[in-house]
Amino acid sequence: MSMATENLLLELLVEELPPKALRNLGRAFAAALADSLKAQGLAAADAVVIDYASPRRLGVHIAAVAAQAADKAVSQKLMPVAVGRDASGDATPALLKKLQSLGADASAVPSLHKRMDGKAEALFFDSTVRGASLADGLQKALAEAIAKLPIPKVMQYQLERDCELPGWSTVSFVRPAHGLIALHGSAVVPVTALGLRAGNSTQGHRFEARLSPVVIAHADAYEQTLAEDGAVIASFDKRRADIARQLQAAATALGAQPVDDEALLDEVTGLVERPTVMVCSFDAEFLEVPQECLILTMKANQKYFPLLDAAGKLSNRFLIVSNINPADRSAVIGGNERVVRPRLADAQFFFNQDRKRTLESRVEGLSKVVYHNQLGTQGDRMQRVCAIARSIATALATNGLQPYAKDPEPFVELVASAARLGKTDLLTEMVGEFPELQGIMGGYYARHDGLSAEVAEAIEDHYKPRFAGDSLPRSDVGLVVALADKLETLVGMFGTGNLPTGDKDPFALRRHALGVIRMLVEKDLPLPLAHLLRDANPAFGALITDATVALADFMYDRLSGSLREQGYSAQEIGAVLALRPQRLGEVPKRLAAVRAFAALPESPALAAANKRISNILKKADDVDAHVSLVLLQEDAEKALYAAMQTVLPKSQALFEAGDYTASLQALAVLRAPVDAFFDGVMVNAEQLDVRLNRLGLLKTLHLAMNRVADLSKLAA
């Protein structure tokens, strides 16, 4: 880069931006601007970029930006030599015309040079392209950055009559823009955007700014001047950290803990330019309402931070983040306390109304709510979930899950009861107002109806795990209903062809699949995946086509992705999942065994041999895993057979005992005899019976080696 560099500052002053999108808008604006300046050679590739975002501004500071980009030598291909020069070597009209289009003439012909281009020689024209000036480059970068902003909803607005720029009248942007700063050091860069000309002044806080306008003397003085004269913390991250610190301090002083909610903290950071945290309270009588309802109404409707005591119980104090800091805070506190009261009273009213009717009395209402045009009502869905839950509960009991193996009936009935009532809270006032409380309210109402603790807990838990990292259902009853609920969605949607595509997954099938996988793996349930998927089909009758195979592929794909996130390598995962293990709870044990095996010195040779055996067996037709002693001719095949006689039973016994690691490690001693076999024995012998016997030997070995995982996948 030529010429002097200075730091650059750009700020767009706008009306209040959408708070949930603010952090993204700030980052995207800064990144797009910086990328464009770097691409034009005006900023270094590693230039330090700082983004600013407050409710009323998007800003960016870029270090060491040049006033003029360096000139660039450019070599342009014109045409093949045969087209550009005639028989006597003179320039053809086509060549002269091409040069003219590039702003050159016949005088450039002698300086053209020839280079091979593919198979023919071509003529090249070398020239120097002048580097962009900052004014032009920044104008282009600004237009690109504005066009690329991830705006949730675009507004159209009319500019005022006395707009400085001719030709601008209607503008589309996320919010009306009122000011533009572009400073290169202390000099204003003459760029325009959204009907505005760049200057060096902005507006501070609406109520607390010391000066208006706030004049920024130098690109590097932006943050400090805005803080001192404008009472604005321009950096999103610094404002967020300041709010978090104030919340924690206020809570600690009260012996409490603010509710932990990253999204709420982001949103509030997008609502204030200079935060002040204040303590408010509400009537203790409201604490009789389930705290989930109160917390949700305070967070969602008011953007307040509820306070919890050491045991996680809600207190009747809460924190607000104010954008103003008056000497007397009582008016601000009183106002917020007045606003929250009717919200809490609504929650109390819904709770009292809902409890006047039992969940059982709402079951009939489910058949009036449409679930899906191809799959009927919520009532139909409930019947299917019940049927699937009964079949899973029965399978668990018959597969020996304690303590239900002796008498499965009471367990199956509890599961059916929870599945029947699981969706009834969707018809309550509270869940109508706050859909996020589905399941949770059902649990409260079930206890109020005098239902057993197991049923109430299962109703509450059957949506779990709701998101990555969420806890699993606490009891076996809840676990079965949660499995049935997710399987009903997966089987129904796959069976009607509603599959996820690209990044679109309207029925959250990926999340449901991961939920099923986590329950099967973490609870090590004795349920083969193929049976689970197959046994869910009959509940749908003729409504769906059987998509079990596609759904199984989808499940193993999700499992593979989840294991990769846990740090397993693609080879380890490939080796274990190639066998499609049916009991997913065994997958972690198999992966651990594969990892331990791969660390053995014999592993690479055995994996390579295994791959070779796989390839030989693929080419042969159906091979019997049978070896006849009489037909073993070479010493090397006799030695391998003898080694297998001692090693394979040992490995098999360990496999059956569930010690996969030791089972694989027992195979290590076969390395030498296997290598010797491939060195000294011709598998595809002329004699048919000898050849089949050798293939039978390899088939026996192959079956024994690949019980835990397909070891050929470990071969480099």
Q: Quote the CA–CA distance of 232 and 221 in Å, as a whole number.
A: 13
Q: Quote the CA–CA distance of 543 and 694 in Å, as a whole number.
A: 51
Cβ neighbours of 672 (radius 10 Å): 14
Q: What is the mean pLDDT of residues 691-700?
A: 92
| pTM for the predicted model, two decimal places | 0.80
> Of 163, 140, 131, which Cα lies nearest the Cα of 33?
140
Residue-level pLDDT at 168: 65
Residue 404 pLDDT greater than 80, yes or no: no
Label residues 298-312 b or e (16+ Cβ within 10 Å = b): bbeebebbbbbeeee
Residue-level pLDDT at 90: 84
Q: Residue 8 pairs with which residues in a beta bridge?
A: 62, 184
Residue 683 pLDDT greater than 70, yes or no: yes
Q: Quote the CA–CA distance of 149 and 9 in Å, as a whole number.
A: 18
Residue-level pLDDT at 2: 45
Cβ neighbours of 666 (radius 10 Å): 21
Q: What is the pLDDT of residues 150-204, one digit of tens each?
A: 887 888 888 765 566 666 678 788 899 999 999 999 999 999 999 899 999 999 9
Residue 465 pLDDT greater than 50, yes or no: yes
Residue-level pLDDT at 153: 84
Residue 444 pLDDT greater than 70, yes or no: yes
Cβ neighbours of 459 (radius 10 Å): 33
Residue-level pLDDT at 161: 57
Is the distance from CB of 496 to CB of 516 less than 8 angstroms?
A: no
Residue-level pLDDT at 166: 64
Q: Quote the CA–CA distance of 110 and 274 in Å, as a whole number.
A: 67
Q: For residue 279, give the 3-state DSSP assignment.
A: strand
Q: Quote the CA–CA distance of 159 and 268 in Å, as a whole number.
A: 30
Angle between helices 476-495 and 378-398 (to 10 degrees): 120
For all residues of the chain together, what is the average pLDDT? Answer: 92
Q: What is the mean pLDDT of residues 433-439?
A: 94
| 145-159, 266-280, 353-367, 448-462: range with lowest mean pLDDT | 145-159
For residue 716, count CB atoms less than 10 angstroms from its CB and return exposed for 0-12, middle for 13-18, buried for 19 or more: exposed
What is the residue type of 123? L
| 94-98, 371-375, 479-483: range with lowest mean pLDDT | 94-98
Domains of the chain: 5-69+133-230 (3.30.70), 74-129 (no CATH), 236-354 (no CATH), 370-567 (1.10.3210), 587-714 (1.10.730)
Q: What is the pLDDT of residues 47-74, one digit of tens each?
A: 999 999 999 999 999 999 998 888 888 7
Q: Quote the CA–CA distance of 478 and 440 in Å, as a whole number.
A: 13
| Res. 319 pLDDT band, cuts 50 70 90 | very high
| 70-79, 249-258, 338-347, 623-632: range with lowest mean pLDDT | 70-79
Is the distance from CB of 457 to CB of 504 less than 8 angstroms?
A: no
| Res. 624 pLDDT band, cuts 50 70 90 | confident
Residue-level pLDDT at 447: 97
Q: Quote the CA–CA distance of 67 and 182 in Å, as a whole number.
A: 13
For residue 129, count CB atoms less than 10 angstroms from its CB and return exposed for 0-12, middle for 13-18, buried for 19 or more: exposed
Q: Quote the CA–CA distance of 190 and 136 in Å, as a whole number.
A: 9
Q: What is the mean pLDDT of residues 543-566?
A: 95
User: Which is more confident, 526 or 131?
Assistant: 526
For the chain, give the percent of residues with pLDDT over 90. Answer: 77
> Of 376, 390, 371, which Cα lies nearest the Cα of 481?
390
Cβ neighbours of 276 (radius 10 Å): 18
Whose structure tokens read 């690479």? 604
Is the distance from CB of 284 to CB of 278 less than 8 angstroms?
A: no
Q: What is the pLDDT of residues 479-523, one digit of tens each?
A: 999 999 999 999 999 999 999 988 889 999 999 999 999 999 999
| Res. 1 pLDDT band, cuts 50 70 90 | very low
Of the CA atoms within 13 Å of residue 660, those in its CB half-sphere come to 17
Cβ neighbours of 153 (radius 10 Å): 8
Residue-level pLDDT at 626: 87
